[in-house]
């Protein structure tokens, strides 16, 4: 059995670029490094807030799955709900991480309603890593 070409989604760290394709990193409180199971376990309004260069690695116990029938291949699908906000000049409030979105919000009225400035215990617990405003240019490194 041939699996689709898009499967494995393994990062290719040896193919990184010296300069990212963006020039601005939004400033704000981002999710601390470390375990974020509590943020991704349930469908709720808690978010893992990433910034340029961050990643989340997901894993599970494969030995807890039922045995695979002989001759079958097993593929996995990860369903993710999230938002992507970058420093592009077409993005409202592109210079900062907040305001954070809520599930079910009208993303076209994002700036008009300011869905969430502060709130939720998870924000104070997990968003403890400050990422300052950075302008990235060729040869600037970080």
Global pTM exceeds 0.85: no
pLDDT tens for 55-101 read 898 888 888 999 989 998 888 777 777 777 777 777 777 788 887 87
* 8 Å CB contact between 113 and 105: yes
| Extents of the domains making up the chain | 1-142
- Report whether pLDDT(49) > 90: yes
H helices then E strands: how many in the chain?
Answer: 3, 4
Mean pLDDT (whole number) for 2-7: 54
Residues 54, 57, 58: CA angle, nearest 5 degrees = 145
Of the ranges 9-23, 99-113, 121-135, which one carries the lowest mean pLDDT score?
Answer: 99-113
pLDDT at 19: 74
Helix (H, G, I), strand (E, B) or coil at 37: helix
31 band by pLDDT with thresholds 50, 70 and 90: very high
């Amino acid at each position: 059995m041939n699996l689709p070409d898009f499967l494995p989604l393994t990062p290719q760290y040896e193919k990184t670029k010296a300069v990212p394709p963006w020039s601005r990193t939004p400033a704000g409180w981002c999710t601390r490094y470390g375990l974020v199971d509590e943020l991704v376990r349930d469908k709720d309004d808690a978010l893992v807030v990433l910034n340029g260069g961050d990643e989340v690695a997901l894993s599970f116990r494969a030995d807890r799955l039922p045995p695979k029938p002989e001759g079958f291949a097993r593929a996995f699908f990860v369903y993710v709900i999230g938002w992507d906000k970058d420093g592009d000049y077409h993005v409202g409030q592109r210079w900062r991480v907040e305001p954070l979105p809520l599930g079910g919000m009208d993303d076209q009225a994002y700036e008009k309603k300011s869905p969430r400035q502060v709130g939720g215990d998870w924000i104070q617990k997990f968003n403890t890593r400050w990422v300052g405003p950075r302008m990235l240019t060729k040869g600037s490194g970080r």
